Structure 1
Amino acid sequence: MLFNQNTSKSYNNPQVASQVVRGTIYDRNQRILAIQTPYWGVYLHLNAIKDMQLVSEVIAPFVQMNPQEIQNKAQSYTTYAQIKERIDDRMVQPLLDAIQKYSLRGQVNVEKRMGRTYPAQFHASQIIGFTNTEGYGIEGIELSEEAHLNPYPEIGTAPVTYGQDITLTLDLDIQYALDVQLQQIADQHNPDYAMAIVLDAVNADILGMGSYPWYDINNLSASKMEQRRNNAVNLLYEPGSVFKLFSLAAVLKAGQAQTSETFDCDGSYTFQAGASRITVNCTAVHGEVDERTMISKSCNGAIVHWALQTDAKAFYDILTSFGFNSSYDIGLPSRARSQIAPPSTWSGRSQATISFGQELLTSALHLATAATALCPSGELLQPNLILRRTSPVDGSILYERERVVIQSVLDSETTSLIRSGMLMATEDGGTGVRARVAGVDVGVKTGTAQILNPLTNSYEDGTVLASTLAMVPIDNPKYIIYIGAGNPKGDTIWGSNIAAPAVANLVQSLVSQGKLKAKDTEVR
Structure 2
Amino acid sequence: DPVVAQRVVRGTIYDRNGKILAIQTPYWGVYLHLNAIQDLKKISEFLAPYVQMTPQQIQEKASHYTTYAQIKEKIDDRMVEPLLKAVDENKLRGQINVEKRLGRTYPAQFHASQTLGFINTDQEGIEGIELSQESVLNPYPRLGETTTYGQDIQLTLDLDIQYALDVQLQSISEIHDPDYAIALVLDAKNGDILGMSSYPWYDVNKLSTSTAQERLNHAVNFLYEPGSVFKLFSLASVLKNGQAKVDELFDCDGSYSFMAGNSKVTINCTSAHGKVDPVTMIAKSCNGAIVHWAMQTDPEAFYSVLKDFGFTSSYDIGLPSKAKGQIAPPSAWSGRSEATIAFGQELLTTALHLAVAATALGPSGELLQPHLILSRTDPVTKQVTYQRSRTVISQLLNPEVTAIIRKGMHAATQEGGTGTLAQVEGIDMGIKTGTAQLLNPQTNSYEDGTVLASSLALVPIDNPRYIIYVAAGNPKGASIWGSNIAGPAIKSIVQTLVSQGKLVTKGTVVR
**Same fold, TM exceeding 0.5?**
yes
Q: Aligned match of 1:439 in 419, 426, 438? A: 426
SS in 2 for 1:238: coil
Q: Which moved more, 1:453-462 or 1:359-368?
A: 453-462
| Unaligned 5+ runs, structure 1 | 1-12
Aligned to 1:462, what secondary structure does the other structure show?
A: coil
Distance 1:280 1:265 in 2: 11
Aligned residue for 1:344? 331
Q: 1:250: Cα distance to partner?
A: 0.6
- The alpha carbon displacement at 1:73 in A equals 3.9
Q: Structure 1 length normalisation: TM-score? A: 0.94
CA deviation digits over 1:173-229, x for unaligned, max 9? Answer: 111111111111111111111111100000000011111111111111121111111
Is 1:250 aligned with 2:237?
yes
Rounded to whole Å, the distance in 2 between the matches of 1:243 and 1:357 is 5
Kept in 2, the 8 Å contact 1:164–1:391? The answer is yes
2: CA distance, partners of 1:480 / 1:323: 16
Alignment pair present for 1:134 and 2:113: no
Question: Cα distance, 1:58 vs. partner?
Answer: 4.5
The amino acid of 1:147's aligned partner reads S
1:511 aligns with 2:498: yes
Residue 177 of structure 1, aligned match among 147, 164, 173? 164
Amino acid in structure 2 at the alignment position of 1:493:
I
- Asked if 1:20 is matched to 2:39, the reply is no
Partner letter of residue 499 of structure 2? S
* Stretch deviating more after TM superposition (291-300 or 97-106): 97-106
Alpha carbons of structure 1 residues 97 and 187: separation in structure 2 relative to 1, 3 Å:
farther
Shift of 1:410: 0.6
Task: Give the deviation of 1:409 after TM superposition.
Answer: 0.9
* 1:287 matches 2:274: yes
Cα deviation, 1:214-260, whole Å, max 9, x if unaligned, reads 11111111211111111100010000000000000011111111111
Q: Which among 337, 343, 364 is matched to residue 356 of structure 1?
A: 343
Distance 1:17 1:483, change over 3 A: same
Structure 1 pair 510–275 and aligned structure 2 pair: CA distance change class (3 A): same
Which residues in structure 2 correspond to 1:97-116 (within 5 Å)? Answer: 99=87, 104-116=92-104
| TM superposition shift of 1:62 | 4.2
Question: Could you tell me which of 69, 73, 97 is aligned with 1:85?
Answer: 73
Deviation at 1:489, TM superposition (A): 1.2
Counting only pairs closer than 5 Å after superposition, residues 454-473 of structure 1 correspond to structure 2 as 454-473=441-460
Secondary structure at 1:483's aligned position in 2?
strand
Letter in 2 for 1:412: P
SS at match of 2:294: helix
CA distance change for structure 1 residues 17 and 101 in 2, over 3 Å: closer, same or farther?
Answer: closer
Q: Distance in 2 between matches of 1:245 and 1:323?
A: 14
- Comparing 280-289 with 355-364, greater Cα deviation is found at 280-289
Alignment map for 1:30-109 (pairs within 5 Å): 30-96=18-84, 99=87, 104-109=92-97
- Note if 1:263 corresponds to 2:250: yes
| Corresponding letter in the other structure for 1:387 | L
Q: Which amino acid aligns with 2:28?
A: W
Q: 1:274 and 1:105 mapped to 2: Cα distance?
A: 86
- Give the equivalent residue in structure 2 for 1:399: 386
Displacement after TM superposition at 1:59 (Å): 3.8
SS in 2 for 1:389: strand
Query: What letter is aligned with 1:176?
Result: Y
Query: How far apart, CA to CA, are the structure 1 residues paired with 2:55 and 2:307?
Result: 62
Which digits, 9 at most, give the CA deviation of each residue in 1:73-130, with x for residues without a partner?
4344332222332222123234445656776543332211112111111111111111
Question: 2:238, 2:66 → 1: CA distance?
Answer: 70
Moved more, 94-103 or 297-306: 94-103
Q: Secondary structure at the match of 1:306?
A: helix
Report the 3-state secondary structure (helix = DSSP H, G, I; strand = E; otherwise coil) of the residue aligned with 1:221.
helix
Give, in whole Å, the separation in 1 of the partners of 2:450 and 2:44: 51
Q: Given the superposition, is the C-alpha separation of residues 99 and 445 from structure 1 closer, same or farther in structure 2, using an over 3 Å criterion?
A: same
Shift of 1:295: 0.5
Distance change in 2, residues 1:307/1:96 (3 Å): same
The answer to whether 1:389 aligns with 2:376 is: yes
Question: Which residue does 1:7 correspond to in 2?
Answer: none
C-alpha separation in 1, matches of 2:202 and 2:38:
40
Q: Does the 8 Å CA contact 1:307/1:352 hold for their aligned counterparts?
A: yes
Alpha carbons of 1:267 and 1:115: their partners in 2 closer, same or farther (altered >3 Å)? same
Partner of residue 288 from structure 2, selected from 294, 301, 304: 301
Q: How many Å separate the matches in 2 of 1:174 and 1:50?
A: 57
CA contact (8 A) 1:167 1:387 kept: yes
Q: Aligned pair in 2 of structure 1 residues 55, 263: CA closer, same or farther (>3 Å)?
A: farther
CA distance in 1, matches of 2:439, 2:401: 32
- Alignment correspondent of 1:219: 206
Alpha-carbon contact 1:58-1:98 (below 8 Å) kept = no
Give yes or no for the alignment of 1:452 onto 2:409.
no
The count of aligned residue pairs is 511
Specify every segment of 5 or more residues in structure 2 that has no aligned partner in the other structure, as ranges.
none
**1:331 aligned to which of 312, 315, 318:** 318
CA–CA distance in structure 2, aligned partners of residues 99 and 241 of structure 1: 68
Contact 1:45 1:107 in 2 (8 A): yes
1:71 & 1:495 partners in 2: Cα distance?
Answer: 56
Residues of 1 paired with 2:234 and 2:441: CA distance? 25
- The answer to which of 170-179 and 315-324 deviates more is 170-179
State yes or no: 1:210 paired with 2:197: yes
Matches of 1:425 and 1:55, distance apart in 2: 72
Post-superposition shift, 1:452?
Answer: 1.2
Cα displacement (A) at 1:290: 0.8
Evaluate the alpha carbon distance shift between residue 484 and residue 62 of structure 1 in structure 2; reply closer, same or farther with a 3 A threshold: farther
Q: 1:98 to 1:462 in 2, by over 3 A?
A: farther
Name the SS for the 2:103 alignment partner.
Answer: strand
Q: 2:184 aligns with which of 194, 197, 200?
A: 197
> Do the aligned partners of residues 467 and 54 (structure 1) sit closer, same or farther apart at CA in structure 2, a change above 3 Å counting?
farther
- Give the AA of the match of 2:277: D
CA-based RMSD? 1.6
Matches of 1:187 and 1:419, distance apart in 2: 32
Distance 1:240 1:288 in 2: 23
Residues of 1 paired with 2:24 and 2:43: CA distance? 31
What SS does structure 2 have at the residue aligned with 1:264?
strand
- Secondary structure of the residue aligned to 2:507 is coil
SS where residue 393 of structure 2 aligns? strand
